[in-house]
Amino acid sequence: MKSKLTYQVLLLALTLGLTHQSAGQDKGTMLIKNGTVLTITKGTLENTDVLIRDGKISQVGKGLKAPSGAKEIDATGLFVMPGIIDAHSHIGLESINEGTSQVTAEVWQGDAIDPLQMSIYRALAGGCTTSHAMHGSANSIGGQCQTIKHRYGTFLPEELIMQGAPRTIKFALGENPTNHGTRDGLLPQTRMGVEFVIREAFSQAKAYMAEWDKYNKNKTAKGFRGAPPEYSYRLETLGEILKGNIIIHCHSYRADEIYMMLNVCKDFGIKKIVFQHVNEGFKVAPELAAYGAMASVFADWWAYKFEVYYSTAYNATILVRNGVTTSINSDSPDLIRHLYHEAGKTQKYGGLSDDEALSLITINPAKQLGIESRVGSIEVGKEGDITIFKNHPLSIYGVPQYSIVDGIVRFDREKDPADMRLLPDPKAEIDVTLHGQYDEGHDNCLQDVEYLFNDLVGLKN
């Protein structure tokens, strides 16, 4: 019996060891020589080298020497910037909408990661090395999300996970969770109902925590005879939000609903909130700034639904100028490939400086995901996530050449073959030929919902 246990422990250790050594979690050592280094937080350094050792930036300076055997990239004439971070994406996920209840805080996107998706490689080819794999917006309180690193090449879902990244959860306001008229009789149908759903959930979580606190306090007391309260992972998760251990990422569009959510947060003592999409954030920018809430926006998407009809492409600039920590996100397998261009649009719409514009896709989304001490700028001690561009990344002619994650080159424009599939389907006969399906024009947060509700649950009308 004992020997069997030892054997199992050994086997487990071996498995873990193997996992650790496989492609996904590799950490590299490499020297990027003589580039124009856009550090984001510490200015732009000409003719500068960046040394990555064991996956971390160990030196930034001139005339650095690579350790023997380390890879070298000559970045002469090229622009070296931190890997781009997308604070709102659904790539690398098998499914994104649980949506069977207005509150599904118990589910986690980390359980639905698909490391084989081409969208991950394509994001890398657009310079994006980290993304926030989010739950959809079918319900007011959705599932927990997962920050992933684009370690394309691994077959193991868990290896995409950015270990140690703070927990995050998706909330959703407005048209998507209410879905006016298509789910008859189900709460919420209105923005009033959305507020109620969220307040009710937090109130229940508060009561739940109080019950457990009471039980934990009393259970060791002499003569205590009570049973423990019923366990609920849903309420447990909501409780962690109230304790400040989970960052809310709240899908929202209209100024009124953003303001409503700020008040809910105020009432429940929640400080960590990032508004997502937040097309009308510009209308309540002073309130967002005063509360310390952050905003993750599209550069110029509008009019794809009624609640974004009164939008402006100047949203990001207005938010930045009002002191709101702002990022530009994709919510799209296409947009994620050119976030640098999306950031560049803030120079057309409001004239942000280069550093301000680049912050929107690097250090600011890092702040919104709580990973700013690890990624988002080129600084000694940070992780070796780097993207190298031909031409300035904010220029329309900017073309990513390399994307590096933890010191490992995951995208190489010159060397990568055209077909980068990890696992081709040998049985597929008729090709998928998408024709501009991912053109601008909708947020992708409602993926699978029609199928789920109409076909599966049969709820439509």
Partner 1 sequence: MKNRFHIVLGAITTIVIGLIWQTEAQSPKGKTGTFALTNATIETITKGTIANGTVILKGGKIVEVGTSVAIPSDAEVIDCNGLKIYPGMIDGGTTVGLSEVGSDKKTQDFNEAGEVVPQVKALTAVNPNSAVIPVTRVSGVTTVIAKPDGGLFPGTAALINLFGYTPDQMYAGFEGVVMNFPNTGRRGFFDRRSDDEIKKAAEKSLKKLDEVWDKAVQYHKLDSAMKGKGLDYYPEMEALLPVVRGERMLMIEVNAAKDIQAVLKWVADRKIRKVALTGVTEGWRVADEIAKAKIPVITGPVIAIPTRDYDRYDQIYANPGLMKKAGVKVAIRTAGTENVRNLPYHAGFAAAYGMSKEDALRAITIEPAEILGVNDKLGSVEKGKNATLIVCDGDPMETKTQIKYVFIDGWMVPMVSRQTLLYDEFLKREPGVSKN
Closest separation between CB of residue 204 and partner 1, Å? Answer: 32
CA–chain centroid gap for 230, Å, is: 32
CA–chain centroid gap for 367, Å, is: 11
Closest separation between CB of residue 439 and partner 1, Å? Answer: 5
Exposed/middle/buried for 432, CB within 10 Å: 0-12, 13-18, 19+? exposed
| Contact flag: residue 5 with partner 1 (CB under 8 A) | no
Residue with tokens 């319900």: 139
Closest separation between CB of residue 413 and partner 1, Å? Answer: 8
Structure tokens at 237: 């998760």
- Sign of the Cα pseudo-torsion (273, 274, 278, 282, in order): positive
Closest separation between CB of residue 227 and partner 1, Å? Answer: 48
| Contact flag: residue 333 with partner 1 (CB under 8 A) | yes
| Contact flag: residue 259 with partner 1 (CB under 8 A) | no
CB-nearer residue toward partner 1: 106 or 287 = 287
| Contact flag: residue 347 with partner 1 (CB under 8 A) | yes
The one segment of 146-154, 206-214, 246-254, 298-306 that binds partner 1 by CB under 8 A: 298-306
Residue with tokens 């732009």: 44
Structure tokens at 416: 């990568």
How many angstroms separate the CA atoms of 436 and 334, rounded? 10
**Under a CB-based contact definition with an 8 Å cutoff, are residues 102 and 188 in contact?**
yes
- Interface residue with partner 1, options 350, 365, 376, 384 (CB under 8 A): 350
| Contact flag: residue 429 with partner 1 (CB under 8 A) | yes
- Interface residue with partner 1, options 211, 334, 355, 379 (CB under 8 A): 334
- DSSP-assigned states of every residue in 85-149: EEEEE-TTBS-----SSSB-TT-BGGGGB-TT-HHHHHHHTTTEEEEEE---SSSSEEEEEEEEE
CB-nearer residue toward partner 1: 276 or 403 = 403
The one segment of 193-201, 266-274, 296-304, 369-377 that binds partner 1 by CB under 8 A: 296-304
**What's at 356, amino acid-wise?**
E
Question: Length of the chain in residues, anyone?
Answer: 461
Nearest CA-CA partner of 23 in 118, 160, 144: 160
- Interface residue with partner 1, options 23, 64, 118, 242 (CB under 8 A): 118
| Contact flag: residue 69 with partner 1 (CB under 8 A) | no
Q: Measure CA of the first residue to CA of the last residue in the chain; give whole Å.
A: 59
**Under a CB-based contact definition with an 8 Å cutoff, are residues 380 and 357 in contact?**
no
- Interface residue with partner 1, options 300, 331, 383, 406 (CB under 8 A): 300
| Contact flag: residue 230 with partner 1 (CB under 8 A) | no
According to CB under 8 A, which residues from 37 to 66 bind partner 1? none
- Interface residue with partner 1, options 395, 412, 454, 459 (CB under 8 A): 395
x/- binding map, residues 155-194, to partner 1, per CB under 8 A?
Answer: --------------------x-------------------
Nearest CA-CA partner of 92 in 109, 71, 67, 78: 109
| Contact flag: residue 99 with partner 1 (CB under 8 A) | no
CB-nearer residue toward partner 1: 424 or 458 = 424
- Interface residue with partner 1, options 200, 236, 256, 287 (CB under 8 A): 287
- Interface residue with partner 1, options 46, 184, 414, 431 (CB under 8 A): 431
Structure tokens at 96: 């994104």
What are the angstrom distances between the C-alpha of 214 and each of 223, 224, 226, 254, 333?
15, 12, 11, 40, 47
- Interface residue with partner 1, options 51, 60, 285, 293 (CB under 8 A): 285
CA–chain centroid gap for 72, Å, is: 30
Phi then psi dihedrals of residue 259, to 5 deg: -65, -40
Element (H, E) at 34: strand 30-38
- Interface residue with partner 1, options 35, 55, 344, 407 (CB under 8 A): 344
CB-nearer residue toward partner 1: 57 or 288 = 288
Closest separation between CB of residue 418 and partner 1, Å? Answer: 4
Report DSSP state, residue 303: S
- Interface residue with partner 1, options 99, 188, 239, 398 (CB under 8 A): 398
Closest separation between CB of residue 290 and partner 1, Å? Answer: 5
Interacting residues toward partner 1 by CB under 8 A: 118-119, 121-122, 125, 175, 282-283, 285-287, 290, 300-306, 309-314, 317-318, 321, 333-334, 337-338, 341, 344-345, 347-350, 391, 394-399, 418-421, 424, 429-442
